[in-house]
Amino acid sequence: MKIDPAQVEEVARELYVRALKILPPDIKRGFARLDATETDATAKKVLGTMITNIRVAEETENLLCQDTGIPIYNVTIGRGVEIAGTELRDAIRRGCERATREHPLRSSVVHPITRRNEHTSCGAGVPPIHVDFCDEERLVIEMIPKGSGSENNSWLKMAVPADGVNAIKTFVIDCVLEAGGKTCPPTIVGVGIGGTSDLCMALAKRAATRPLGTSCADPEGAALEASLTEAVNGLGVGPQGLGGDSTAFAVHVEIAATHITMNPVAVNMQCHSARRASASFTRAGVEYGF
Amino acid sequence: MTHHVLHMPVSEAQARALKVDDTVTIEGALFGIRDANQIALFDKGRTTRFDMRGHAAIHTAPNVRKIPPSSEHPTGYAPICVGTTTSARMERFTRPLMEKLGVRILIGKGGLGAGSLAAFAELGGAYLAIIGGTAALETTWIEAIEDVDLDDLNPESLWKFRVRGFGPLLVAMDSHGGSLYDAVDRKARGRRANTLARLGVK
């Protein structure tokens, strides 16, 4: 299956705008669930405003949140997909630039030292493009605009084996307390466990951006997700840090094997505007989804 | 719990009348401030031609469209999406905003710290919480971008919006030492030990 770079560019442009405007159905269901169970009056009002905003964004075809984020593209390349890697990369970047210029969107991306904004949402190493593989004959591009309020609350701890799983649990609780309202709760708390330091952080990001209702493939990780979700929501931080039961939609865990001497844990959060969009290229054409 | 409709600018007495848990709607002018423009004003010695005395400032950097200037859009900018950013990053600028520029009210999300709370008490100000991440709704309260300064920092320019029915916003920090964020944080940290015990952490 040959993939036309021009079509990739068009899809990369469209995905950025779609992700910023339409919240995925699993997140909407997450809101409905929290709204139904929240017991705090202020929290209930805050959730109500967030739900209204989702509707207003769709009705006015406006962005859900002003933060256009750091654009992230996750690419899954299936069997028999033909496109040069460099052409794929360059097409995604052009699509991201075009979305920024043509919509227009606020470019939230600057040089880290000069702080210069090129007004393209692009720069050295940005957008990050992560590549994975699958067996089916398809190319999937997922786009995630990662807002800074949640991204600024990211932590890594290189705990040691002697600290065991207790270190992981304590770290997650302390990160949620430290984040307070700064991450725009209710959040998805992404927890990476194991790997190297960089892999651990990447796992946390993957966990934070995983659809609600999905579980960690590892049963130990899945059990931890359930107990930590309950624990986090018992803290009372609440939506926007103003108190209440709805601190997190869920705690998600992703794991990787690690070294005999290591016990790394990372936390990355996704705000309530948990935006993502995806497109799947098959022989039948391009299909947009979440 | 009182609802206040504030036509900007306001007096010190009006700012001091705001109490935690009250609600506020802002009418008239609203200034948009951000990391880069506050760094420019307070670290790099730049100045603004705006008179912000008695006014409200919101932590924001909007999505805008450049258009030909008109009576509706005098700056040549039309607002696309105006939202609110996390206030905590800009904690150290609260005092100079109030002391040097005379700002009375800050609007943001996630709250500010002890330094800001002290400045509100000493100088007469308050922090109003808006719901972060609800920019589509917030944009419907913005009538126009009335003026812009320090525009070389775009999108982190110093913005002057004209707003109508901007709210309701929640008074989350006041000039009487009240902070909803402190209260929630104390309560949540108080639950830490029990939470960890239930997770089997000894």
Average pLDDT, chain B: 97
A139 and A186, same structural domain? no
ipTM: 0.94
Q: Is residue A92 part of a domain?
A: yes
pLDDT above 90 for B149:
yes
Put simply, the answer to whether B184 touches A50 (Cβ < 8 Å) is: no
Interface test with A, best of B67, B86, B150, B196 (most A CBs within 10 A): B86
- Whether residue A198 sits in one domain with residue A163: yes
In this structure, the answer to whether residues A156 and A129 fall within a common structural domain is no
- Same-domain check for residues A199 and A266: yes
Mutual angle of helices A164-179 and B180-190, in 10-degree steps? 170
Is residue A59, in this structure, part of any structural domain at all? no
| Residue A158 maps to a domain | yes
User: A12 and A143 in one domain?
Assistant: yes
Q: A28 and chain B: CB distance < 8 Å anywhere?
A: no
Residues 6+ apart with CB under 8 A from A62: A21, A56, B80, B81, B135, B136, B139
User: Domain for residue A32, yes or no?
Assistant: no
At B202 the pLDDT is: 83
CA distance B99 to B95: 6
Interchain CB contact of A234 with B (< 8 Å): yes
Residue numbers in B near A174 (CB within 8 A):
192
Interface of B with A in 56-95 (CB under 8 A): 60-66, 80-86, 88-89
> Does residue A202 sit within a domain?
yes
Six token digits for residue A206: 């993957």
What's the pLDDT score for residue A99?
98
What is the tally of structural domains in chain B? 1
For the stretch A17-54, pLDDT in tens is 999 999 999 999 999 999 999 999 999 999 999 999 99
Q: Is residue A231 part of a domain?
A: yes
Check which CATH number belongs to the domain holding B178 and give it.
Answer: 3.20.130.10
Q: Do A187 and A203 sit in the same domain of this protein?
A: yes
Q: How far is A128 from chain B (nearest CA, A)?
A: 22
For residue A201, give Cα distances in angstroms to A212, B129, B186.
20, 31, 29
Enumerate the residues of chain B whose CB falls inside 8 A of the CB of residue A147. Answer: 133
| % of residues, chain B, pLDDT over 70 | 100
Q: Please tell me the distance in Å from B151's CA to the nearest CA on chain A.
A: 13
- Strands (E) in A61-114, as ranges, are 70-77
Are A15 and A97 members of one domain?
A: yes
Residues A12 and A142 in one domain: yes
* Strands of A43-153, DSSP E: 70-77, 129-133, 139-146
How far A135 CA sits from the closest chain B CA (Å)? 37
Tell me: pLDDT of A196 over 90.
yes
Residue A42 forms part of a structural domain = no
Return the SS3 of A187: strand
Q: Each residue of A220-264: pLDDT tens digit?
A: 999 999 999 999 999 999 999 999 999 999 999 999 999 999 999
**Any chain B CB within 8 A of the CB of A248?**
no
Nearest to A57 among B85, B136, B192 (CB): B136
A16: in domain: yes
Report yes or no: A12 at the B interface, CB cutoff 8 Å: no
Q: Could you tell me if A138 and A254 lie in one domain?
A: no
Rounded to a whole number of angstroms, the distance from the CA of A196 to the nearest CA of chain B is 25
Q: Does A149 touch chain B (CB under 8 A)?
A: yes
Q: Which domain holds residue B31?
A: 3-198
Using the predicted structure, report yes or no on whether residue B12 has a pLDDT greater than 90: yes
Q: Give the number of domains in chain A.
A: 2
Q: A209 lies in which domain range?
A: 149-270
